[in-house]
Amino acid sequence: MNVEGFVDTTEGERPYQSPKLGWWPDPLLPNAPFTVNADESQPILISVTAPESAKAGVHRGSISVRSGAHTATIPLEVEVFGFQLPKTGHYSTWTSGCSQEIVDKHYGGDPGEEIMKRFVVEAAARKLPPVDLLNGWAWKTPKVPAVGNGYDFSKLDRWLDVFEAQGVTRFPLAHVPRFKKFGGGEYTPQFVADFARFIKAYAEHLKKRGMFGKAVLYNIDEASNHEKLREWEECKRFYKAVKEAVPDLPVVQCLNEFQGVQALAGHADVWDLYYGQYEQAGGPQRKKAGDEIMLAVCIWPAEHPNVFIEYPLLDARIMPWIGFREGAKGFEYWDMFQWGGNVGKTDWLQKGQGTRTAWKLQAAHGDGLLMYPGADGTPLSSLRLEAIRDGLEDYEYLYALAEKAKTNPAAAALLKVATETLVTGVTSYEKDPAKLLELRLKMGRLLSE
Helix (H) or strand (E) holding 116: helix 114-125
Q: Mean pLDDT, the chain, as a whole number?
A: 96
Same domain for 418 and 349: no
In the listed set 32, 57, 79, which residue is the last one of a domain according to the structure?
A: 79
| Lowest pLDDT segment from 64-78, 248-262, 303-317 | 64-78
| Lowest pLDDT segment from 15-19, 78-82, 305-309 | 15-19
Same domain for 417 and 383: no
Q: How far apart are the first and last CA of the chain?
A: 31
Write down the pLDDT at residue 388.
Answer: 98
Helix-helix angle 433-447:409-417, to 10 degrees: 160
Q: Report percent pLDDT > 90 for the chain.
A: 92
Write down the pLDDT at residue 350.
Answer: 93
Same domain for 106 and 74: no
Contact 274, 304 (CB under 8 A): no
Write down the pLDDT at residue 415.
Answer: 98
Statement: residue 13 has pLDDT above 80: no
**187 domain-assigned:** yes
**87 domain-assigned:** no
pTM listed for this prediction = 0.96
Statement: residue 313 has pLDDT above 90: yes
Same domain for 142 and 52: no
Q: Where are the alpha helices (DSSP H) in 246-361?
A: 259-263, 283-288, 313-326
Statement: residue 14 has pLDDT above 90: no
Same domain for 63 and 194: no
Statement: residue 174 has pLDDT above 90: yes
**Predicted confidence band of residue 151 (pLDDT cuts 50, 70, 90):** very high
Write down the pLDDT at residue 134.
Answer: 98
**267 domain-assigned:** yes
The stretch 309-327 carries a mean pLDDT of 98
Write down the pLDDT at residue 435.
Answer: 98
Same domain for 364 and 269: yes
Write down the pLDDT at residue 40.
Answer: 84
**85 domain-assigned:** no
The stretch 360-377 carries a mean pLDDT of 95
Same domain for 238 and 204: yes
The stretch 364-383 carries a mean pLDDT of 97
Taking alpha carbons only, the member of 60, 58, 122 closest to residue 95 is 122
Half-sphere exposure of 218 (CA within 13 A, CB side): 27
Same domain for 345 and 239: yes
Statement: residue 99 has pLDDT above 80: yes
Same domain for 202 and 305: yes
Same domain for 388 and 406: no
Same domain for 124 and 52: no
Same domain for 329 and 417: no
Contact 391, 333 (CB under 8 A): no
Taking alpha carbons only, the member of 54, 34, 90 closest to residue 354 is 34
The stretch 25-34 carries a mean pLDDT of 94
Statement: residue 214 has pLDDT above 90: yes
In the listed set 345, 367, 392, which residue is the last one of a domain according to the structure?
A: 392
Write down the pLDDT at residue 257.
Answer: 95
The stretch 241-247 carries a mean pLDDT of 98
Q: Number of structural domains, the chain? A: 3
The stretch 270-285 carries a mean pLDDT of 97
In the listed set 392, 419, 437, which residue is the last one of a domain according to the structure?
A: 392
409-431 pLDDT, tens digit per residue, is: 999 999 999 999 999 999 999 99
**375 domain-assigned:** yes
Domain holding 150: CATH number?
A: 3.20.20
Contact 11, 361 (CB under 8 A): yes
Write down the pLDDT at residue 11.
Answer: 84
The stretch 291-317 carries a mean pLDDT of 96
Statement: residue 297 has pLDDT above 80: yes
Range of the domain at 439: 400-447
| Alpha carbon 321 to its chain's center | 15
DSSP string, 159-204: HHHHHHHTT---EEEEE---HHHH-S----HHHHHHHHHHHHHHHH
Please name the residues in contact with 427: beta carbons below 8 A apart, sequence gap of 6 or more. 275, 276, 303, 304, 305
Write down the pLDDT at residue 19.
Answer: 82
Contact 252, 269 (CB under 8 A): yes
Write down the pLDDT at residue 217.
Answer: 98
